[in-house]
Structure 1
Amino acid sequence: MLSELPARAVRADDALRADTALRHFRRGRPVLWQGDFHGARQLLHAIGRRTRDVPLLKMLLIPLDADYTVPLRRAPDVRAACTEAFGTSTEPKAIPLRELLGVIGAHEWRIKGVDVPVLGAKIHPHYGVFAPIRQEYLDLVAEAPVPEGFTAFDIGTGTGVLAAILARRGARTVIATDVNPRACVCAHENLSRLGYRVEVQERDLFPAGQADLVVCNPPWVPGRAHSELELGIFDSDMLDRFLDQLPQHLTPAGEGWLILSDLAEHLGLRTRESLLESIGRAGLEVVDRLDTRPRHRRAREDETTSLWRLQMARSRPAQ
């Protein structure tokens, strides 16, 4: 995130060593970099080998002029990327290098897009919107059985990629929602570009009414996001809130599709038993589960991504 140039920051250049930088960070003093831009990247990498503490890693700051120019040797032109992420600027600022690298990466993805074979097209993510780099979950949504002429909600649509798949599969109507205004703009642009008639609404979870199919791909890891770029990965309560509210938004024979990796289980942050308890507590039951292995090179070898097909439990009256 952007901040005013910090008065307490240590001014440093390429002579600064990683251990010294960490000592400054642990004393609550950020470093405002004055040296070569690539030297800053090397320093951040060296610090990252010593600690995984995200708040500490964000204390290496890069200066930005009023027009988002980086006044450092060998610095890239980040003006367009920063304007997309933060809007126009009128004052000099500082930004954590870790954040700036994410802004640059998001800008590059937005320009070139992400190939989505199940759509035969590209999706263009915006800054702060989760990009569909891992695509095994898209294949699950493209292959799971759907009734003819179904209506659908896509909860937490992000780039709109799942809404596009549902529309491509013949949904009579699709409503896509997201609490993030950036995501709503991104989804609308992608869906319009692809020619799909999907209504995009800025909402916290559900739109009004019921649907035959309600799809949700919540953040897979319980926890707190440290930046906008992590909002699609970490969340503390979206999963439980989705399950609790799902029954009232399903038609009597409708299904909820929960798309979830078991990564949190491998990390000891959630158990399979607690997930099943949350499903049952919401008055839902599992009618099927489709599993697949991730293909992304950064995924764990023992990780499984699942599409949980949920319906209202037979003992629960339809709402």
Structure 2
Amino acid sequence: MNQTTPLNWEENGKQRTASWRAEHTPPKRVVLADDTLAADTAYRLACEGTGLLWKGDFQNARLLLQAMVRRLDKPAKRKTRGKNQADAPVDPATGFHAHRLAQSQRSRVLNSLLIELKDDYSIALRRAPDVKQACNEAWGRGDGQNGVVPLRVLQGLIGAHEWRKNGVEVAALGGTDQRIHPHYGVFSPVRGEYVDLVAKAPLPAALQSTSLAFDIGTGTGVLSAVLVRRGVERVLATDMSDRALSCAKDNLQRLELTGQVELLKTDVFPPGQAALVVCNPPWLPARPTSLLEQAVYDEGSQMLKGFLAGLASHLCPGGEGWLILSDLAEHLGLRTRAELQGWIDEAGLKVLGRLDTQPRHPKAQDATDPLHAARSAEVTSLWRLGV
């Protein structure tokens, strides 16, 4: 969040300024909008890059946003083509980048509808919800200044608050408490298939003499919790994100596992060696455009390469590295299996085995999804690697 960026607009003949509370660049032009604004006009202004600072009924702002979504989703009219003309085939990588560009443009348009927050995160609009707790969880205590946030981002904060309050059931945890509570900006373990792989893979024999595991990029702490529930006596979990470390600490306290898991802020590996090193890096080599996307996209596969390159020196004799990775990037033409195997070989590693599973998330079954061909063929694997 870029709280230091000021957003300026004119209201009642006076210049107003507030902090911009969103990750993306604020609009250069802002106009006031209320219940009299027609959806077509709002959509046109948003497409032109104009921010719409809402001054009407809050629930009507929600309805206007839904109307803008419908206009974005309306199928474009296709140009008439000659009888012998056929649609040029699009390779998967080109299709993926076109999809990302469309997502970016869609986000820019929908994030044009803005809500002003007071310095205590309250909203001075009719029928506005109380979002103070959601904002405090995401941003910390207010800085004494009014702020402006896209309504769509505010809805994300409210959704993140509900996820954090209710938690996500993770059957692989076993025991009486099987819920993980993700925080704002920390990727939720809603894709349980990769957690199931960690719960089912055979533990390396080296753990019998050195019962220590490293959890690289711990996020919510779910994999650390699964390893401890499986009998690993001690886990050292790392992450570079303060949000993730705070989230993992909260979950481990809820599960009463803080005595077995130590959290450390560091880039990839902690010092020393372990009998098991687990890593679930971002699966797609592309540039993230938001905080949450950092769990999915990693430009140049930097974390994946770093994990493989440093793994051998952090394994004790007989130890294993578990790499959890989807092959979606291969189906999208963003990375080849030969490249992955080459990085494994260059690191002095060998493949001891591999466990595969099919994705269970809804998009894998959604034929209307632009990436359906790749998603329907996707396989998530746990690669057991040794020196």
Contact preservation (8 Å) 2:65, 2:113: no
Q: Distance in 2 between matches of 1:245 and 1:22?
A: 50
Q: Distance in 2 between matches of 1:126 and 1:142?
A: 23
Contact preservation (8 Å) 2:110, 2:152: yes
Q: Distance in 1 between matches of 2:317 and 2:242?
A: 31
Please tell me the residue identity of whatever aligns with 1:305: T
| Cα shift at 1:159 | 0.7
CA spacing shift, 1:97–1:235, aligned 2, 3 Å? farther
| Cα shift at 1:248 | 1.4
Report what 2:317 is aligned to.
252
Contact preservation (8 Å) 1:160, 1:186: yes
1:134 and 2:197 are equivalent in the alignment: no
Please tell me the residue identity of whatever aligns with 1:81: A
Report what 1:145 is aligned to.
202
Report what 1:85 is aligned to.
138
| Cα shift at 1:294 | 1.5
Q: Distance in 2 between matches of 1:115 and 1:311?
A: 32
Contact preservation (8 Å) 1:66, 1:93: yes
Contact preservation (8 Å) 1:44, 1:60: no
List alignment gaps of at least 5 residues for structure 2: 10-28, 75-101, 365-374
Alignment match of 1:286 (pick from 326, 342, 351):
351
Alignment match of 1:175 (pick from 217, 236, 251):
236
Report what 1:317 is aligned to.
none
Report what 2:125 is aligned to.
72
| Cα shift at 1:181 | 0.7
Q: Distance in 2 between matches of 1:232 and 1:59?
A: 25
As a proportion of its length, which structure holds more helix? 2
Alignment match of 1:222 (pick from 279, 285, 301):
285
CA spacing shift, 1:163–1:43, aligned 2, 3 Å? same
1:41 and 2:104 are equivalent in the alignment: no
Please tell me the residue identity of whatever aligns with 1:31: L
1:120-158 superposed Cα distances (whole Å, 9 cap, x missing partner): 311111111111111001110000011343320000001
| Cα shift at 1:27 | 4.2
SS of the residue corresponding to residue 118 of structure 1 reads helix
Contact preservation (8 Å) 1:18, 1:47: no
| Cα shift at 1:43 | 3.8
Q: Distance in 2 between matches of 1:98 and 1:257?
A: 37
SS of the residue corresponding to residue 209 of structure 1 reads coil
RMSD value, Cα = 2.2
| Cα shift at 1:230 | 2.0
Contact preservation (8 Å) 1:4, 1:94: no
1:125 and 2:182 are equivalent in the alignment: yes
Q: Distance in 2 between matches of 1:273 and 1:16?
A: 55
Q: Distance in 2 between matches of 1:270 and 1:260?
A: 12
1:12 and 2:33 are equivalent in the alignment: yes
Report what 1:30 is aligned to.
51
Select between 35-44 and 291-300 the one with higher mean Cα deviation: 35-44
Number of equivalences:
312
Given the two structures, how large is their TM-score scaled by the length of structure 1?
Answer: 0.89
Report what 2:271 is aligned to.
208
| Cα shift at 1:243 | 1.4
Select between 113-122 and 21-30 the one with higher mean Cα deviation: 21-30
Aligned residues with identical type, % of pairs = 55
CA spacing shift, 1:9–1:110, aligned 2, 3 Å? same
Given the two structures, how large is their TM-score scaled by the length of structure 2?
Answer: 0.75
SS of the residue corresponding to residue 339 of structure 2 reads helix
SS of the residue corresponding to residue 207 of structure 1 reads coil
